Amino acid sequence: MDRMIIHGGAPLRGVVELSGSKNATLPIMMAAVLTAEPVIIRNVPRLRDVATAIELLGGLGVAARWRGDHELELQARELIGHEAPYELVKTMRASFVMLGPLLARGGRARVSTPGGCAIGARPVNLHIAGVRALGARVQLRNGYVEAHAARLVGARVWLDNPSVGATENILMAATLARGRTVIENAAREPEVGDLARMLAAMGARITGAGTHVIEIEGVERLHGAEHSVIPDRIEAGSLMAAAAATGGDVIIRGAPLQDLDAVIVKLGEAGGEITPVEGGLRIVRAGTLRPIELRTLPYPGFPTDLQAQMMALLTQAHGASVITETIFENRFMHAQELIRMGADIVMKGSTAVVRGPSRLSGAPVMATDLRASMGLIVAGLAAENTTTVSRVYHLDRGYEALDRKLAALGARIERAPEA
């Protein structure tokens, strides 16, 4: 197991290229199960979660072959299994999104329930209600969701809240169902839109992806396709927070401006100057940082996956910021570690008040999840002296070559084996 050692204080400067979106890639890979023909996916980030998804697919009989650094070919000629085992679902919750494709292609699925995780309870009731609405018989046995359906039948599905995973699961299940499915209160995240584009390239008939109402007209079969994954807006926001926290000047190539509205507005309020440039954006922070109010919301609101990075940034703002987390009930685990580095943060329920500017001093810290780890990296880059972030495997799940990208921007960061 590795850790990251950061000697803070260096402003980030230069040009960095984004990788493909992790959260778009994973469900797109699972869509390969829906056809016997090969699918080719480009701009796939090299991440631990992608390796986990390849393992999951391998267990089902899906052949995976890298055709280039970031180009993956998957083919589910014939399914030899219908299970997403606990060992994989517990390390990567997104595996649960295999439920829909397995049911649609083979008529049965046995998918482990994920259990709670570091950031909250994260139930899967909406996924289950969705496939039930499409006619699947579902029971919970031995910690697994077992579902059967000779052929799914299109239906109206209303989501209590716009869950990203549930929307993706139902969307994939509905592509091969008989008749029309309407998902109401669907998630509008750009990653759902990217999955819908992949499915459309495979022959699915989908309208409304990116809005609250998605309609799917089921087809008899899907075919092979080629698709290029959208750039990672969360990686973009993470690098923007790091640039702003260090008083840097960074050009982020590939930054999807249209997907970053809330992030650009909030970083702008805090004192980042963001301008579109050819093929991406530039973020400069010359003056002092200002405190802001921030509330995480479903897209197009401010993403919960950038809350930890913003909290780290706001420890450097002059005044009191208020952060409210509305998506996950337990997503302030990074705050205690930031406090150990010298931050002034008071939490009550889902709200955190961050008073700055704090002189952060390096400390050994560790995080409980992917985005919290990135928050600690941002803090370490802004801190005096040395910060060691352990449990780097969290970062490897979702950030490709993070240490190399940050080092190329002038950060003094190295990866070393755990002491």
In the complex, the residues that contact ligand UD1 under the rule CB under 6 A are 23, 26, 93-94, 120, 122-127, 161, 163-166, 187, 191, 303-305, 327-328
Q: CB of 255: closest distance to ligand UD1 in angstroms?
A: 18
Give me the residue whose beta carbon is nearest to ligand UD1.
165
Q: CB of 196: closest distance to ligand UD1 in angstroms?
A: 14
Separation between Cα atoms, residue 40 and residue 28, nearest integer Å = 10
- List, in order, residues 6 or more apart from 269 with CB less than 8 Å away: 290, 292
Separation between Cα atoms, residue 211 and residue 74, nearest integer Å = 29
Q: Are the C-beta atoms of residues 111 and 56 closer than 8 Å to each other?
A: no
Single-letter residue type at 407: A
DSSP string, 87-100: HHHTT-GGGGGGHH
| C-beta of 158 vs 279, nearer to ligand UD1 | 158
**117 included as an active-site residue:** yes
Torsion of CA 118, 123, 124, 130, to 10 degrees: -140
Token couple for 325: 């987390």
| C-beta of 29 vs 250, nearer to ligand UD1 | 29
Alpha helices in 274-369 (DSSP H): 307-314, 333-340
Q: CB of 8: closest distance to ligand UD1 in angstroms?
A: 27
Beta strand extents in 218-343 (DSSP E only) = 225-228, 249-253, 273-277, 280-284, 293-295, 319-324
Residue tagged active-site, from 36, 51, 64, 117: 117
| C-beta of 79 vs 129, nearer to ligand UD1 | 129
Q: CB of 332: closest distance to ligand UD1 in angstroms?
A: 14
Q: Are the C-beta atoms of residues 189 and 232 closer than 8 Å to each other?
A: no
Q: Are the C-beta atoms of residues 283 and 260 closer than 8 Å to each other?
A: no
| C-beta of 108 vs 122, nearer to ligand UD1 | 122
Tokens 């994920």 — which residue?
Answer: 114
Q: Are β-strands 386-390 and 205-207 bridged in parallel, bridged antiparallel, or unpaired?
A: unpaired
Q: CB of 157: closest distance to ligand UD1 in angstroms?
A: 12
Separation between Cα atoms, residue 257 and residue 59, nearest integer Å = 38
Q: CB of 108: closest distance to ligand UD1 in angstroms?
A: 20
Residues that are catalytic:
117
